[in-house]
Amino acid sequence: MITYDEFEKVDIRLGKIIKVEDFPEARKPAYKLQIDFGEEIGIKLSSAQITKHYTKEELLNKQVIAVVNFPKKQIGPFISEVLTLGLPDENGDVVLVSPTKDMPEGVKLF
């Protein structure tokens, strides 16, 4: 188990996807995302294996939840700066975690 203090160290924020590109170099089908987390954090990059449930057009301007304080991760030729959060469906394909109403970019999950 972790303590509440340890959990508080994980910085989970709301961002809005502002750009979506195919990621043909990825081992599993994925998109490259640019996500705007507001003034304090800015725009960050993420790779997400979400092609089964979302088109690029559906993702544009979608609000998502991400961990913004993990170290950068090399994914093939791409550097992912944040971990976009999702849940597996019955087949193990990723469904994004999103708010049910529009919120300001950069707001912190607690």
Q: In 3D, which of 19, 9, 8, 90 has the Cα closest to residue 48?
A: 19
pTM: 0.94
Domains of the chain by residue range: 4-96
CB of 105 closer than 8 Å to CB of 37? yes
**Which ranges in 47-91 belong to alpha helices (H)?**
56-59
**CATH class belonging to 4-96:** mainly beta
pLDDT at 110 over 90: no
pLDDT > 90 fraction of the chain, expressed in percent and rounded: 97
Backbone angles phi, psi at 43, to 5 degrees: -95, 130
pLDDT > 70 fraction of the chain, expressed in percent and rounded: 100
**Each residue of 23-40: pLDDT tens digit?**
999 999 999 999 999 999
In the sheet where 31-36 sits, what is the strand order? 43-48, 31-36, 12-22, 63-67, 83-84
